Structure 1
């Protein structure tokens, strides 16, 4: 009996030890190749607009030094890895569904982030907002849209160590020290007066906040002229979503913390507005755009419904991604399936993670409605140049 009990105890101990070791075993995060036919909706997709959008990115790749970095922090690629596919794309003169599909299936291999199972993530939307403003400060137009400050210093860490490509520090010089740049609250209290030009004065701090989130917008002036502004830089402070602040305070739920819900609450509680908004220490600076379209981080005009903002730590700018998610309509959060080949052409302060995307929906009320409500789960597959697949790292852990 004692031997039997000892055997049982020993067996339990081994099982517990094995389970503990299994728990401590690191997950094997990797990029897993997939067949095109395995992508949900791929066979039925019309890829013509996707290829047209990709061609815009190609024009950037073909202007760059072939030896320059064109991957992400986790996926090492050079410009020359993209250039053969781009040359082939721009050589297609008769563009139709058949030629578009043949192009992507010839030049690319789909891969997905895999961590013992396929990695899923969150997909949101953004748009090009319309604001009202004046080139001179008035009682009505008193909220400044700032250009880049003269004392803002940006340090690209990759210039010092290639391990930190696509990472940077933003601050200002104090003597011979680089110190943090003023926070949103400090900027609103006058910390950069005389250091940053005011591009235009708008009539709403809420509108300015949403302009910062979207990255570009249109400001209509009193005489009817329109001023197009786009992202130029930021103060380097951590970004905290105002929606999260309201959820954590119990004021809203994750379901109600849409752009429309946030705006309604702040407008109804003006005495709380500054205190809530200032908890997001991040602050965005802008520049006047010559184009009348939104520009992305790749420096090209974004295509509504086809340009995706991504996290550059994980996703190379210019890369095609097959997206499988849903998006809202006017009445339902998950009403419409969205399975489409997107192109990574932008970034965003709130876009962080290996599977995280922000769909650019364009301008107008429909774009505003969809973008403001979109917070949907989904997956994507990254399309990488076929010849680069054997050279990818075996593990991303």
Structure 2
């Protein structure tokens, strides 16, 4: 897996159908920096540091030249205002911001009475075909005694949500960590357990969130296990040893992503590595410069973005509550911006 959000996008969308992708050709409007609400109050230096993480991997000459200039910049705001132009890209669908995070699980290298729920590496015989379902693996034990276990976790619900996020960090009792990333899946389509709770009449559509699902399963352990089996999709993992535990997980550009500064986008509209100004509405408004460093299977459209909230439970709660309107504006090299929207120049 190359991006945290790729397997199933965001936990916040578990019980809600994503909007259909628009068929309209995108429109491009060049804005001024004065039209970006809150631009003058952001920490542009923090955004520049994150931009420099991935800009060397951008292959277009326009971007590479800006990357070279970024190396020795002392005034980050001036750098962005001097060499970029804000471009509003629209495709006919409303803006939607959601959130994702990196789960942190408690685990062990060995199975114990406390740690008994495995994370599996990819079986050798899995080569694109339909494989065993979640229920067959977890209830029937079809992978037992194959030596595929990477680590053992203390909570089956944590394992389930790790499958949704696609990667995470395991904390061992000695204080060490293991980061795992997506390796493959069993080929079965994802089925929303949130929607299943709504179908059963247990919750309404607007009540369901990742935390609500987690709490219900813990209150109803037997029925909860069966609820999780409603989703036949199952993910296999790999150890990600090249990323120090102190840094963020790898995004779609194969570089560490940064909490509250990295964004998952649709690369059909937004170049990976590009700065993106977001104006998120909702209960927790957010106006800041972020960098497009990740992708997601449900992140489709010019005005669709997934905010990386960080690692651990608190980040997961904040990510799970995020489903807000607003506006996102891509910062593009000046010549490219005006080539896309010549009528907007001026």
TM tier, shorter chain?
A: 0.7 to 0.9
Q: Measure, in 2, the Cα distance between the counterparts of 1:241 and 1:121.
A: 23
- The residue aligned with 1:356 is 304
SS in structure 2 at match of 1:232 = strand
- Match for 2:260 among 288, 293, 305? 305
Residues 90, 302 of structure 2: 8 Å contact kept: no
Pairwise CA RMSD of aligned residues? 2.9
Distance 2:165 2:207 in 1: 19
Quick check: 2:91–2:303 contact (8 Å CA) kept in 1? no
Instruction: Tell me which of 95, 99, 118 is aligned to 1:121.
Output: 95
Distance 1:244 1:105 in 2: 45
1:183-194 map, 5 Å:
183-188=133-138, 189-190=140-141
* 1:89 matched to 2:37: no
In the other structure, the counterpart of 1:205 is 156
The residue that corresponds to 2:279 in the other structure is 324
Displacement after TM superposition at 1:50 (Å): 0.8
User: Which runs of no fewer than 5 residues in structure 2 stay unpaired?
Assistant: 1-22
Equivalent of 2:87 in 111, 120, 130 = 111
CA shift at 1:190, angstroms? 4.7
Partner of 1:289: 240
**Across the two proteins, how many residue pairs are aligned to each other?**
315
Of residues 194, 197, 200, the one that matches 1:249 is 200
- Tell which deviates more after alignment, 252-261 or 47-56: 252-261
Question: 1:39 matched to which residue of 2?
Answer: 36
- Aligned ranges for residues 329-340 of structure 1 at < 5 Å? 334-340=282-288
Task: Give the distance between the partners of 2:142 and 2:275, measured in 1 at CA.
Answer: 41
The 1-side partners of 2:63 and 2:125 are apart by: 36
TM-score where L is the length of structure 1: 0.70
Instruction: Measure the CA separation in 2 of the matches of 1:231 and 1:357.
Output: 21
Give 1:115 shift.
4.3
1:128-149, Cα deviation, whole Å (9 max, x unpaired): 3221222222343222212233
Q: Find out whether 1:272 has 2:237 as its counterpart.
A: no
Q: Distance in 2 between matches of 1:44 and 1:57?
A: 24
- State yes or no: 1:221 paired with 2:161: no
CA distance in 2, matches of 1:140, 1:266: 18
Deviation at 1:54, TM superposition (A): 0.6
Change (3 A) 1:38 1:152: farther
Could you say if the C-alpha distance between residues 351 and 185 of structure 1 is closer, same or farther in structure 2, counting changes exceeding 3 Å? Answer: farther
Between stretches 212-221 and 262-271, larger displacement belongs to 212-221
| Contact 1:149-1:196 within 8 A present in 2 as well | no
User: Structure 1 residue 280: deviation in Å?
Assistant: 3.0
Alignment partner of 2:105: what SS?
strand
Name 1:145's counterpart in structure 2: 119
What is the distance in 2 between the residues matched to 1:233 and 1:393?
40
Q: Does the CA contact (< 8 Å) of 1:297 and 1:347 recur in 2?
A: yes
27, 48, 56: which one pairs with 1:30? 27
Tell me whether 28-37 or 340-349 shows the greater mean CA deviation: 28-37
Shift of 1:196: 7.9
**Structure 2 CA distance, aligned partners of 1:276 and 1:254?**
16
The separation in 1 between residues aligned to 2:166 and 2:295, in whole angstroms, is 9
Gap change, CA 1:141 and 1:244, over 3 Å in 2: same
For residues 238-280 of structure 1, what are the alpha-carbon distances to aligned partners after superposition, in whole Å with 9 as ceiling and x for unaligned?
A: 3344323323433223432222211111112222223322333
**Contact conserved, 1:148 with 1:196, CA < 8 A, in 2?**
no
Which shows bigger deviation, 127-136 or 308-317?
308-317
